Amino acid sequence: MWRIYRVIFRLRSPMHIGWGKVGNLQTTRPYVTGRAVWGALTMRLTRDAVQGAPATDSRRYKAIGKQVHQSLAFTYLYPCTQGKGGYDIAWPWKKENLFRFLGSYQGIALSGFSHSAAIGMLREVEFISPYTMDTGEPVFLVGYIFERDGSELAWQEALTRVQFGGERSYGWGDVRLIETREVKGDQLFDGKVKFDCSGKQVYICVPCGEHLLAHAVARNLPAKGEVEPLIGREWQSYNPRHRYAGQHVEYSGVCFAPGSVVTQKLNLSLEEYGIWRRINASRIGQRAAKDKK
């Protein structure tokens, strides 16, 4: 039912994946969320579809976004460096190594009247650096995309011209596609977490004591780690209120963050935006049998 591809990008500029704000510091997540991947693909596919005309109607983005959900599923993308045996991933639970990938940029708005800094407009934006901060090694992003059989989306070509995250008007989030390779195994990131693509939906199996590699809905989930409400901003110009870019808030639920540790073997489904949700093992078997029929 699915084809699985490992995708690798080279990060070519600073990248900011919005997380929260501490004082005047806008922090970044140390990985690319599924929503950010979905948003980048939706934007590029929509603008390609209008063939150069202005893509100013958010309904177009909504329609293409639904097609992306129906045709593709994806994991989060994680920063890494290239080693002798492959790619060394900077996992979010290994916080002692994250400093190598994170930097920040300070800026301030100016007052045209006084030709000086505007009061209260100092800001600092944290970013994932295109080069490691200590040794200057190139930084890559690695993850997986699942394509449903029969999909007609030109997503592979679109990936050659995408930007991830915020501050894109300043050139941030620029990436170069290095590899889109079809995978025949069943392991994510060559680890102990496995996937099953034999049915209409992608399923994930996480052994006891292993880390979650994406946000997972916290309800009835036996895990230990950070819990947060997962919220994203969207542009919905057809709304009677909050109709401008970034004003509509989309709530995806309370989730365990990537890096949380499960306390028993779990079977989960891969949902929209790359979010994981717990599902009973017997239901997986029942669904798979039904799909094969």
User: What would the two tokens of residue 181 be?
Assistant: 């390779």
Q: pTM of this prediction?
A: 0.89
What pLDDT does 111 receive? 77
When pLDDT is cut at 50, 70 and 90, the band that residue 283 belongs to is low
- Give the residue with greater pLDDT, 51 vs 147: 147
What pLDDT does 235 receive? 73
What pLDDT does 79 receive? 97
Mean pLDDT to the nearest integer, 115-130:
85
162 neighbors 41 (Cβ within 8 angstroms): yes
- Give the residue with greater pLDDT, 261 vs 56: 261
Mean pLDDT to the nearest integer, 41-45:
94
d(CA 252, CA 30): 20
- Give the residue with greater pLDDT, 169 vs 109: 169
Residue 157 corresponds to which amino acid?
E
List, edge to edge, every strand of the sheet that includes 194-196: 194-196, 203-206, 266-270, 276-278, 216-217, 248-256, 227-234
Is 292 a residue whose pLDDT tops 60? no
- Max mean pLDDT range (12-26, 37-51, 86-100, 207-221): 207-221
Q: What CATH fold (topology level) applies to the domain 1-184?
A: Alpha-Beta Plaits (3.30.70)
Phi-psi group of 281: left, alpha or beta (phi > 0 → left; psi -120 to 50 → alpha; rest → beta): alpha
The SS3 of residue 169 is helix
Residue 269 corresponds to which amino acid?
S
- The sign of the torsion formed by the CA atoms of 146, 151, 152, 153 equals negative
Mean pLDDT to the nearest integer, 125-149:
96
229 neighbors 273 (Cβ within 8 angstroms): no
Residue 26 corresponds to which amino acid?
Q
Task: Give the residue ranges of DSSP H helices in the chain.
Answer: 34-49, 58-71, 95-98, 155-158, 281-292
Residue-averaged pLDDT of the chain: 89
What would the pLDDT profile of 232-247 be if each residue is shown by its tens digit? 777 777 777 777 776 7
Of 56-60, 136-140, 154-158, 218-222, minimum mean pLDDT range:
56-60
- The crossing angle, in degrees rounded to 10, of helices 58-71 and 34-49 is 120
What pLDDT does 286 receive? 54
Q: What are the start and end residues of each CATH 3.30.70 domain in the chain? A: 1-184
What pLDDT does 91 receive? 95
d(CA 151, CA 1): 11
